[in-house]
Chains A and B, each alone.
Chain A
Amino acid sequence: MSLTWTLAVRNILRNKRRSFLTILLISMTLAILIFTDGYIKAMTDVMVRSATRLYPGDAQIHNVSYLAERDGEKTITDVDQQINSLMAEPLVASYSLRALDFGMVSSSANNIAVQVVGVDADLEASVSKLKLSMIRGDYLDNAGSELQILLGGPLADLLEVDLGDRLVVSVNNYQSDDIDQRLFRVSGIFEMKSKFFDEGLVFIQLPQAQAMMGIGQGIHEIAFNLTDESLSGVKDLALWSRLATPQTVAEGWTTLMPDLAAILALTGYSLLIIGTILFVVATLGVINAMFMSIYERTYEFGVILAIGTRRTSVFNLILIEGFVLCLLALVLGAALGAGVTLWVGAIGIDYGSMDVSGVALAEILRPELRLLQFTELPFAVLVMTLVACLYPAIHAARIVPAKALHKSL
């Protein structure tokens, strides 16, 4: 080890309490960053999953004109061809066929505007969490009664209905251009812990919906999930163009839900903001500690400069001291950060049915570890420490020996 390194290490050991506090400050910065990153990652994942896997799916296929106009006549007609294309894609895990339109659901007590969704019960169960969200009654049965209807608990309360009660659903029939009204009986009540879904959707069997809407065998939406959910956020995924036809378009959730994508992009800045605040605090702490260390040793710096040490060597000495302190802090910080993240990940954070920017956090948040927390974040902390050491190092290098040795030579 060179003498500069020896000096640096021994100087660090010289005031163990101050060195420990400095190490603790830097390590806490890294630990908080690791936990924050793990937390934000978990939250964004839960938000995306809540927004996609709860009901909409990772991606959807529509008639090219449907989303822009919300025109119920713009259906997907080549359903079999679309299904064949989907099944040929190894990236596609499951799909669901949906016929949907805005309509009215009426009970003896109330009339409420909702979106009426016709689904194939088995296919829908493989894409959304509708089946898993059932709290009372039964999920749809493809072979069961045509009168089955599912609605959310809050909607049932608003309509003052319960299992077995009668409801009238009204939608526009695009074939006859008349309102089609049919009687249903409440067969099941679900709770997705999302106001939008729980108060705004009712589910009936797909053939009933197609008949009421007068769209023949057509459907409005094919929702599908991918084997790797993280791919669903890729805007230019090749899959989208492979599934598209001249009449249909396939899009991931970032395109279908641009507001959510924007919110998540903002969420990503949270780490930057928290990191910046932490860095400012830690930088000031490191600068303070290094200056205390330098002021205590002003005399020594005067001596070593007087006997021929170059100013650059003094500058390097302070940077090396900061580097060594930081290395020790990174080890401690990584261990602390990993420990806290794993512990909180194990017990989880349950937000109940809380919404974040309109998206329900429908799962327990479990902060997770990932590689960048042990590569990019420690590197950023190291750079921060060295930057924080620059000012003290410049100060030490500019010490005038005659002033430093004022009491002696």
Chain B
Amino acid sequence: MTAVIETRGLGRFYGVGDTLVRALNEVDIVIEPGEFTAIVGPSGSGKSTLLQLMGGLDTPDAGQVLLKDKAISSMSGHELSDFRRDHIGFIFQAYNLIPVLNAAENCEYIMLLQGIPAAERKERVYRMLEQVGLAGRETRRPNQLSGGQQQRVAVARAMVSQPDIILADEPTANLDSQTGMDLLDMMHDLNRNEGMTFVFSTHDPKIMERASRLIHIEDGQVLKDERRDAS
């Protein structure tokens, strides 16, 4: 089976004064289709940096990232934008919806970039918002939605373009525990029912329990890669 994302000897270094800080060092990870993977570790361990590099949002200083067997470093700016648009969904910690667009338009935006016809866009947006429990709230702008609802819109936005993988950076960090668990249940359902591949970072033990794979990372290095049955 072709890996969705593969990292080989991945490294990202920062200079702090005369000291070289290795935010990531020699990270080798293979993400297979359908996985529900959590990258876990303490704050500052390199989780977000790893997700940024896996999503092509940053450039590695060493090694490479292969997206569906294609090296990110070989892609031009436009190719990388198009690749992210068509193959990767992002969920951000702070929701990061576009404030001047309503829930439906936020979801529709990425499909407009993809050139999907209006009728299909509308059908997919309404179906996805219903799936994440936001039917009837399509025309609300982000500031008219609760934090949990905004994150559901963010999930719908990430899902609606039918990417190969969704990368989520601590998606429940800004939510209360119950809303966070509900969101995670929803993501898990989408993983099981739709076969969507999820990779998310977290340091919440309750959330880790739901993951089918745990990649422990500390000081920029993978300490343990643990596959298990998710609850």
- The verdict on A409 contacting B90 (CB below 8 Å), with A7-B101, A308-B82, A402-B52 known, is yes
Nearest-neighbour CB distance to chain B for A243, whole angstroms, equals: 68
Report the Cα distance A6→B92, complex, angstroms. 24
Nearest-neighbour CB distance to chain B for A12, whole angstroms, equals: 10
Which of B58, B92, B110, B157 gathers most chain A CB within 10 Å? B92
Report the Cα distance A65→B201, complex, angstroms. 98
Contact with A along B45-82 (1 / 0, CB 8 A): 00010011001011000000000000000000110011
| A311 and B77 within 8 A (CB) | yes
| B110 and A307 within 8 A (CB) | yes
| B101 and A400 within 8 A (CB) | no
Report the Cα distance A407→B95, complex, angstroms. 12
Interface flag for A11 (CB, 8 Å): yes
A-side interface mostly: helix
| A300 and B81 within 8 A (CB) | no
| B100 and A307 within 8 A (CB) | no
Nearest-neighbour CB distance to chain B for A255, whole angstroms, equals: 61
Interface residues on B, range: 35 or more
Nearest-neighbour CB distance to chain B for A346, whole angstroms, equals: 44
| B78 and A310 within 8 A (CB) | yes
Contact with A along B72-104 (1 / 0, CB 8 A): 000001100111111011111110111111000
Interface flag for A375 (CB, 8 Å): no
Interface flag for B153 (CB, 8 Å): no
Contact with B along A279-307 (1 / 0, CB 8 A): 00000000000000000000110111111
Which of B78, B84, B168 gathers most chain A CB within 10 Å? B84
**Residue in A7, A11, A310, A409 whose beta carbon sits within 8 Å of that of B93 in the complex:** A409
| A306 and B51 within 8 A (CB) | no
| A307 and B85 within 8 A (CB) | yes
| A408 and B92 within 8 A (CB) | yes
| A409 and B52 within 8 A (CB) | yes
**Residue in B48, B58, B92, B100 whose beta carbon sits within 8 Å of that of A7 in the complex:** B100
Nearest-neighbour CB distance to chain B for A308, whole angstroms, equals: 2
Report the Cα distance A7→B113, complex, angstroms. 13
- The verdict on A407 contacting B94 (CB below 8 Å), with A3-B112, A308-B81 known, is yes
| B90 and A3 within 8 A (CB) | no
**Residue in A305, A312, A405 whose beta carbon sits within 8 Å of that of B92 in the complex:** A405
Closest to B96 in A: A303
Q: Give every chain A residue within 8 A of B93 (Cβ-Cβ).
A: 407-409
Report the Cα distance A307→B82, complex, angstroms. 9
Report the Cα distance A408→B105, complex, angstroms. 22
| B98 and A304 within 8 A (CB) | yes
Q: Give every chain B residue within 8 A of A303 (Cβ-Cβ).
A: 90, 92, 96-98
Interface flag for A401 (CB, 8 Å): yes
Within 8 A of B (CB), among A365-399: none
Interface flag for A217 (CB, 8 Å): no
Interface flag for A309 (CB, 8 Å): yes
- The verdict on A309 contacting B81 (CB below 8 Å), with A409-B52, A409-B57, A409-B90 known, is yes
Interface flag for B35 (CB, 8 Å): no
| A10 and B58 within 8 A (CB) | no
Excluding A311-B78, A408-B48, A409-B55, 4 further A-B contacts by CB distance (< 8 Å) are: A10-B101, A300-B96, A402-B58, A409-B92
A–B Cβ pairs within 8 angstroms, 24 of them: A7-B101, A10-B100, A10-B101, A13-B100, A14-B99, A302-B96, A303-B92, A303-B97, A304-B98, A304-B109, A306-B57, A307-B85, A307-B90, A308-B81, A308-B83, A308-B114, A401-B52, A402-B58, A405-B96, A408-B96, A409-B55, A409-B57, A409-B167, A409-B168
Could you tell me which B residues sit within 8 Å of A by CB distance? 48, 51-52, 55, 57-58, 77-78, 81-86, 88-94, 96-101, 105, 108-110, 112-114, 157, 161, 167-169
